[in-house]
Structure 1
Amino acid sequence: MVMKLIRIFLPALFTLFLINFAGAQTRGGKISGLVLDNTKKPLDGATVILLVAKDSTEVSTQLVNPDGSFTFQNLKDNTYILKVTYIGYKDYRSSNVVISQQKPVALPPFILSSTGKTLNEVAVTAQKSYVQQKIDRTVVNVGALISNTGANALEVLEKSPGVQVDADGNITFKGKSGVLVMIDDKPTYLSAADLATYLRSLPASSLDQIELMDNPPAKYDAAGNAGVINIKTKKNSIRGFHAVVSADYAQGFYGRTNESINMNYRVDKVNLFANIAYNGNQTFRRLEIDRNYFDANGDQTSSLKDISYFRPVNNNTNIKAGMDFYASPKTTWGVVFTGTIAPDHDNSPVYSLLYGKNGELDSTINTQNTSKDKFNSKGINLNYTHKYDSTGRQLNFDLDYIRDVSNSNQLFVNNTFLPDGTLTNSQTLSDNLPSTINIYSAKADYAHPLKGKAKLEAGVKSSYVNTDNAANYYNVVDGVSTIDYNNTNRFLYKENINAAYVNFNKDFGRFSLQTGLRVENTNGNGHQLGNAEKADSSFANHYTNLFPTAYFSYNLDTAKHNVLVLSYGRRVGRPNYSSLNPFTFFVDEFTYFSGNPFLKPQFTDNYKLAYSFKSLFTVAVAYDYTTDVQGETIHNDGNVFISTTGNIGQLKTLDFSINTNLQPAKWWTVNLYAEFYNNTYQGQFYTGYLNQSKNTFDFNGSNQFTISKTWSAEISGFYDSGGAYGQFITLPKGMLNAAIQKKILNNKGSIKLNMRDILHTFSPSGTITNIENATATFHNFVDTQVATLAFTYSFGKSTNNPPKRETGGADSEQGRAH
């Protein structure tokens, strides 16, 4: 194992040092500074405008970084003025700033006062906009919506522009599945089911922003054909001790609680931080599936009605802790530990009613399905940052190790009855499904400014994944268990991905260019171990691909208020590790899940044209073309439905979207997002040639109201007209939310009341098409009508200091684990 780690990490570190020594100094004037509010906290999203002092000609405009910093580089010798604007704050205008002999100037912090308030007041009436647009991503500020109070990360995602979450927690983005979900620029390394469980256990109070990237730059892994969703957690950046505690109680079908504490302590060169969250959650879902069966002539032979009840009980604890050591003003070392403990149990009975061809009841099958699951994850990240000079030349590297261990024990008891209640058959089946995954990753990134407002970035990454999944099934007769060799198996999978990228951007007056190229080499080996009745089987995949990206931006006016952006990118969707495992998972006597070791990766080309006005209004049109589309497929073996992930064919998506931030009055802020897209699936299928197309309309909006200095309210919601997703045609669904907030304890605390899905209209339903000699419909009753009462309190010192870096090198593997 040691030699394997050396082979993985040594090439990355060697390349890192080659890049380091290849750097050169950049000439040019520079102005840098910080934008803070009157409590010395960063004003992320504030606009800084650089003007020539003589005639107020605008030179450049930019949004400040999350830590409040901004930098204008490669400036000519001149006298400048800086103007800072932010909604709800008074405009700030600096005195003259002189650039002489192209030397850098570091300005003292700009302190902005809120409208109608003095600098020494603690209360802040303004807040970030819910949605902010950048050249390569959309940023959602989680805390800007009161209705996010008491919610979890998955519920926050479903309210984000272009994001949809189905009843099982599967995430789609702009009508496409296969999105790569990351936490603080690090992958989650989880299967779709485990990712949904983890996000449900992550309280919204611990989240800061969500970055939505349908066409990520070359720096990011090429995985995720639908793009990247990066969830950024809160990070304190203050000297001394500071903490934020929150607790809430929610009542839906069952009660649930969330508690969290986010702590930070810095003294001298050491910064310690920790985020601990606990989630006690019990939910409810009823799923109804109606199936009709036909003979070769199209005459109905029978029908089946399945009614399933899901009542999972989760008690999840998430821990994130670490330390930053500021070895010098230019060098920072860091370590981050993460851990998740997520036990749960479920009692999910299924009632199946089997009817004859004339609609008469033939038999009833009652399935008692009980399960106990455990999921434990632990990880460590070592990171290093070095800033060579004030021009922005910087080197980062990360080493990651993550270990996920899960185990599931299930018991199925199937009893079949005649219409008169006579028991005709009883069957008992049990299983044990242990899984272990180990992930190793090394990554290095280097940034180097060049002359003429240009910048070059480059990096390398290598990862190694080792998974071990077992499926042990037993037939139980009179209390005696015997191995079911037909379904029992053990699946081993190993994968190594090596990648390198280069990215270049440059400004040419009104025109800006950013282009990049990423190369990824994938090597995967799968081995299904045999048993007493089945032989071994194995497969290997080795391929290398190029992933170009390009952004072209043009300012239609000198003030840069009207901007056009044209972009292109290529993505890959590698199979989830669990999807490659050919084991069978039972839901009931008529429904199975099965893996597919022959699953191929899918590739997507993304094209997009967008127009924005002052980052307040954005309209975009996009076209995506995907080959070897991966998606859930349903085929039948008699009256048994088998669900597996397959390559459906090709997908063409044409998308038109519009997003706007409005402020009709000082006390009223509105954010609206609307999207219209068409999905067209074409390709060979179980039942012949699949040709499925449907138009979809999505709407997402929020209204925020400032009632007084301490009272605020919100009304938000979304609507989805339904669409086509492979075999599945979904029906319309929506949600209406409302919330009210009261600030207390000298504005250091708050009490919030939130009502989610007031009208209880979120019921994912639809039709399953292209099933041989059968039709099927499904309807979900989901526990989403929930009232939440929450309390948040912040205490400790509030002196600003440079922020810590909590990034890692594991990018795409986590979203595919198990």
Structure 2
Amino acid sequence: MNQSENMKQKLLLTFLITILISMNIFSQYQPGTIAGSLKSDDKLTTASSTIALCRAADSAVLFSTSPDTESNYFFYSVSKGKYLVKVTSTLAETYYSKPFIIDSLKKTIRLEPIALVPRRPVTLDKVVVTAKRPLLEQQIDRVIVNVDAMISATASNALEILEKTPGVSVELSGGISLNGKNNVMIMIDGRPTNLSATDLTAYLRSLPGGTLDKIELIDNPPARYEAAGNAIINIKLRRNKLQGFTGSFSAGANQGQYFRTNEVLNLNFNRNKFSVNSSVGYNRDAGSVKNNGGRSYYANDGKIESELRSVNSSRSQGDAITGRITIDYAANKKTSYGAIINLNSRNTDDHQLYANSQLNDKGLSDSLSLGVTDFNTRWRGGGANLNFLHKYNAQGRELSADLNYLRYTNRGIQSLTNSFRDVDDPGIYNDQFSYNLPSVLDIYSGQIDYVHPLERKARIDVGFKTSQVTNDNELSVIGSPPASGLQGRDKSNHFIYRETISALYINTRKDWRRFGLQLGLRMEYTVSDGDQLGNQQVARSTFKRDYLNAFPSLFMTYKLDTTNTNFLDLSYSRRIRRPNYQMLNPFEIFVDNYSFSSGNPYLLPQYANQLELKYRYKKYFGIGFQQGFYNNVIFQITETREKVFVTRPQNVAKGRISAVSINGMIPVAKWWNINVSGGLYRLKLTGGTTEGKLDQEAFSIRGSILNQFTLGSGWSAETNGYYNGRDINGQRSIDPRYRINAGVQKKILKGKGSLRLSLEDVFYSWKTRDETRNLANAISYNTSQGDTRRIAMGFTWSFGKETSSRKRSLNENSASEEKSRVD
């Protein structure tokens, strides 16, 4: 038996022993019971009530339940401790009981009947909302961004909102980073998107801002989350839990060089045991990017041998429709079922022009190439989720299960026309060809999670997940691409990739009076295989891999006082970055006469160890110290072949990120709040590529400042500024950039609606300048400018009637990490 098999068995044995020890703890658990009843002249008042069991020390809600048909309620499996009962209802005043104790002598408590004091029912059309959620909220393991606090959100799409989110950076190419960390997993309602950078960018642009509720920024995810990604950004969509029929409508339009619109209609119906939430959205997107760049080629003595000047401009436009429906059925007080259906459709048309001029060592032009590329994409996506939740008792013991199926199809045609002229040859050579790019992706996944509370404020979570992915990409070339010194390239490609990931996790948590500890271990076994079917010029090639990994995590928190005001948090996690599916496809694709791109079937996973020490003040302020260590770092690396650049992903380096980050809200006055987010980063890469040694280092500052003004009479305004300091990405060094936005809002329709006006990138300063170094006898540089300066208008309206509060939310957070790695 080889060393790899021994290691797998040891890791699996460790995991099973941990579970057996935990089960032994369960067998020693002897809980208590709490019973009571409600009294009211109106049955609807008691039926609409929610009874919460709270910790007496701080009134924190431990578990909630509803009264039965006889107005009785029960809490089972209650640990020893001091508690109180809280009763809330939209039809009655809030009630708090006197504190009581559960211990070995008093395991059963029967409380006195609670007489509810009725109040008049409230309908939504009489409500005027005056409170406003803060932009940022601090939690132990994440930062919450409330999207509605951004005035410009209604007239923006999801990608533009991410660009304005504190700590998040979005490149024009679609790359997303969080607090300096690349390879961020993007999740929608706890379900990873698993799309390549290109498809993810297009999808987020098709998602109207009116569908977003919150954004969770998670630097060090716990063991329950998939181990993929250096960090997680979880976008939570809007859902209304109010009883009755309610809804909302939002519409936005903005004008830059091109006109864009997005509209969203949300409809919700909640009654008794049934809840139906639905939304439909339309997005019309358009934009442009201008690139000016060049390359310098050097002889061995360091003198310039030749140069290349390039100008590139692209224009894109597309229409997208998104639909979503969720159904929730509460079979009884303990068991509920849910279903989710998502449908997405996106049609995009891209038009690109480029011109390349080759210069000799005297700076004179000796050749010119011109090209036109048209890329038409018809993308369809759909998914279904079935979920189940059973709550065994009032203390929090529960079992949940999810089944998911996702399917994406893409029909793309890329047509290219290339013209070439040499000064020594009067002829002009034209090449016309096209790529036919169909692809199909299927993802199946299932997950089971079990939560078991223990005595003395402790709990244990265990779970299992499995996922299976099949990605079928086919590419055929019609016509003949120009050779440009690269002979023997295949003209067609059919690449099939399959991957299965099975995971087990265990997470334990224990809280003392001022100290909390959470330990987690996740084990993932991955089996993958790729098959390039080959053609007349290239032989068939295959690869297969399997590996078992352990991913520990640690969270500690300490209360610096007894008022739950000041906290210290320490966290650690180990993470993995599996290669994007298309990264493994070795087929070379023509970009222009001097540029090609391809995948790398020998790419290995990237691993990260991340540590953070953080201070929090309530939910309003946090400052953290971070260290990240990375091995087998994956970057897009450019190689020079006879003055042609070929870009493909490689494992190139060891990386390190040291950072000090800050997030907070400063209440300057009753009418003025300042939200500050930023960080100081040291980025270091060391290693080697096929082009030579790689040694990059950068000190960078990133930050944003949002000023929010409440002006009275329903008026509010905001100004915000963003600054991204110098950055490094593999061989690329990226210059600093900044932008300024501003907006104003007016509440209308008795507080149920709003009108918003905003200006984006006022000074048209959000441009990217970068330089590619560590090339063999060459250097490359480029400046990119997108259609970022815009004026936007938005409208929102909420309607419907509320009769009582919803008591349960749907479990929909188990779809797999696989979806974020689709190409």
Length-normalised TM-score, structure 2: 0.87
Matches of 1:109 and 1:146 in 2, distance apart? 40
Aligned mate of 2:214, from 209, 221, 233: 209
- C-alpha separation in 2, matches of 1:112 and 1:161: 42
- Give % identity: 35
Please tell me whether residue 193 in structure 1 is matched to residue 198 in structure 2.
yes
Corresponding residue of 2:185: 180
Q: CA deviation at 1:431?
A: 0.9
**2:664 matched to 1:660?**
yes
| Alignment gaps of 5+ in structure 2 | 1-18, 37-51, 67-74, 89-93, 482-486
CA apart distance, 1:159 = 2.0
Larger CA deviation: 121-130 vs 537-546: 121-130
Mapped partners of 1:546, 1:571: distance in 2 = 9
DSSP 3-state at the match of 1:284: strand
What letter matches 1:501 in structure 2? Y
Q: Is 1:630 aligned to residue 629 of structure 2?
A: no
Which of 227, 230, 242 is the equivalent residue of 1:222?
227
**One-letter amino acid matched to 1:615:** K
Per-residue Cα deviation, 1:647-703 (whole angstroms, up to 9, x for no partner): 111101111111111111111111101201111101121232211111110011211
Counterparts of 1:285 and 1:244, CA distance in 2: 34
Matched, 1:282 2:286: yes
2:316 aligned partner, one-letter code: P
Contact 2:78 2:394 in 1 (8 A): no
The 5-angstrom pairing of residues 603-752 of structure 1 reads 603-752=607-756
- Distance of 2:53 and 2:78 partners within structure 1: 15
CA distance in structure 1 between the aligned counterparts of 2:635 and 2:151, rounded to whole angstroms:
35
Quote the offset at 1:363 in angstroms. Answer: 2.4
Does the residue aligned with 1:156 lie in a helix, a strand or coil? helix
Partner residue, 1:470: 474
Match among 441, 446, 456 for residue 445 of structure 2? 441
Partners of 2:662 and 2:246 lie apart in 1 by 39
For residue 760 of structure 2, the aligned residue among 756, 763, 774 is 756
Structure 2 partner of 1:585: 589
**Matched residue type, 1:262:** N
Per the alignment, residue 271 of structure 2 pairs with 267
1:379 maps to a residue whose letter is G
Report SS of the residue matched to 1:649.
Answer: strand
Q: Secondary structure at the match of 1:629?
A: strand
Are positions 1:339 and 2:351 aligned together?
Answer: no
- Tell me if the contact between 2:76 and 2:395 (Cα under 8 Å) persists in the aligned partners: no
2:165 to 155, 160, 165: 160
Offset, 1:149: 2.5
Matched, 1:516 2:528: no
Q: Are 1:563 and 2:567 counterparts?
A: yes
CA contact (8 A) 1:679 1:725 kept: no
Residue equivalent to 2:130: 125
Alignment partner, residue 821 of structure 2 = 816
**In the alignment, what sits opposite 1:319?**
323
Seen in structure 2, the aligned counterparts of structure 1 residues 208 and 20 have a Cα distance that, compared at 3 Å, is farther
CA deviation vs aligned residue, 1:379-398 (integer Å, no higher than 9, x gap): 11111111111111111110
Write the distance in 2 (CA, Å) between the matches of 1:485 and 1:741: 57
Alpha carbons of structure 1 residues 318 and 26: separation in structure 2 relative to 1, 3 Å: farther
1:473/1:484 contact within 8 Å kept: no
Question: How far is 1:564 from its partner?
Answer: 0.9
Contact 1:590 1:641 in 2 (8 A): yes
Cα shift at 1:302: 1.2
Shift of 1:336: 0.7
Aligned partner of 2:47 in structure 1 is: none
Partner residue in 2 for 1:40: none
Decide whether aligned partners of structure 1 residues 761 and 326 sit closer, same or farther in structure 2, where only a CA change above 3 A counts.
same
- For residues 608-635 of structure 1, give each alpha carbon's deviation from its aligned partner in whole angstroms, at most 9, with x where no partner exists: 1111122322111011101000111111
Aligned partners of 2:338 and 2:652: how far apart in 1? 44
What's the secondary structure of 2:443's corresponding residue? strand
Moved more, 799-808 or 319-328: 799-808
Q: 1:139 aligns with which of 121, 144, 166?
A: 144
Contact 1:331–1:387 at 8 Å: present in 2 too?
Answer: yes
Instruction: Specify the code of the residue in structure 1 equivalent to 2:437.
Output: L
> In terms of mean alpha carbon deviation, does 690-699 or 287-296 score higher?
287-296
Q: After alignment, is 564-573 or 97-106 more displaced?
A: 97-106
SS of match in other structure, 2:148: helix
CA offsets, 1:771-801, max 9 Å, x none? 1111111111111111111111111122321
Counterpart of 2:767 in 1: which secondary structure?
coil
Aligned to 1:39: none
Deviation at 1:26, TM superposition (A): 6.1
CA-to-aligned-CA distance 1:433-464 (integer Å, 9 cap, x gap)? 11111110000111111100001101000000
* Contact 1:673/1:701 (<8 A) preserved: yes
1:359 is displaced (CA, Å) by 1.0
> Is the Cα contact below 8 Å between 2:673 and 2:708 reproduced in 1?
yes
Assess, with a 3 A threshold, how the Cα gap between structure 1 residues 270 and 422 changes in structure 2: closer, same or farther. farther
Determine if contact 1:696/1:721 at 8 Å carries over to the other structure. Answer: yes
1:268 positional shift = 3.5
Shift of 1:562: 1.7
Q: Which amino acid aligns with 1:187?
A: P
The partner residue of 2:251 within 243, 247, 251 is: 247
Equivalent-residue separation in structure 2 for 1:715 and 1:26 (angstroms): 56
1:390-432 superposed Cα distances (whole Å, 9 cap, x missing partner):
1111111100111111121111111124579965221112111
1:755-776 deviations in Å (ceiling 9; x for gaps) = 1111111001111111111111
Q: CA deviation at 1:60?
A: 6.4
Cα shift at 1:465: 0.4
Name the amino acid aligned to 1:727.
Q
Counterpart CA distance in 2 for 1:107 and 1:141 is 36
Could you say which residue in structure 2 is the equivalent of 1:43?
none
Q: Check whether the contact 2:154–2:250 (CA below 8 A) recurs between aligned residues.
A: no
Query: Offset at 1:589?
Result: 1.4
The alpha-carbon deviation at position 266 of structure 1 amounts to: 2.4
1:573-609 per-residue CA deviation (whole Å, 9 max, x = no partner) reads 0000010111222221112211111110001001111
Residue among 340, 363, 378 paired with 1:374? 378
Give per-residue Cα distances to partners, 1:728-767, cap 9 Å, x unaligned: 1111111111111111111111111111111111001111
Shift of 1:710: 1.1
Q: CA deviation at 1:362?
A: 1.9
Q: Distance in 2 between matches of 1:317 and 1:670?
A: 36
Pairwise CA distance, 1:63 = 11
What SS does the aligned partner of 2:820 have? helix
CA distance in 2, matches of 1:73, 1:382: 28
Alignment partners' CA distance in 2, 1:358 and 1:769:
23
Instruction: Find the partner of 1:400 among 404, 407, 425.
Output: 404
CA offsets 1:192-215 (integer angstroms, 9 cap, x no match):
110110001111110011111111
CA contact (8 A) 1:437 1:817 kept: yes
Q: Retained in 2: the 8 A contact 1:50–1:83?
A: no
- Bigger mean CA deviation after superposition, 433-442 or 322-331: 322-331
Q: How does 1:22-101 map to 2 (within 5 A)?
A: 27=31, 58-59=57-58, 96-98=98-100, 101=106
Q: Distance in 2 between matches of 1:538 and 1:262?
A: 47
Counterpart of 2:603? Answer: 599
| Cα distance change of structure 1 residues 195 and 72 upon mapping to structure 2, 3 Å threshold | farther
Q: State the AA in 2 paired with 1:206.
A: T
Residue 765 (structure 2) pairs with residue 773 (structure 1)? no
Q: What CA distance in whole angstroms lies between the structure 2 residues aligned with 1:664 and 1:73? A: 47
Do the aligned partners of 1:671 and 1:701 also contact (CA within 8 Å) in 2? Answer: yes
491 and 791 in structure 1: CA distance in 2 versus 1, 3 angstrom threshold: same
* CA–CA distance in structure 2, aligned partners of residues 197 and 783 of structure 1: 15
SS at match of 1:348: strand
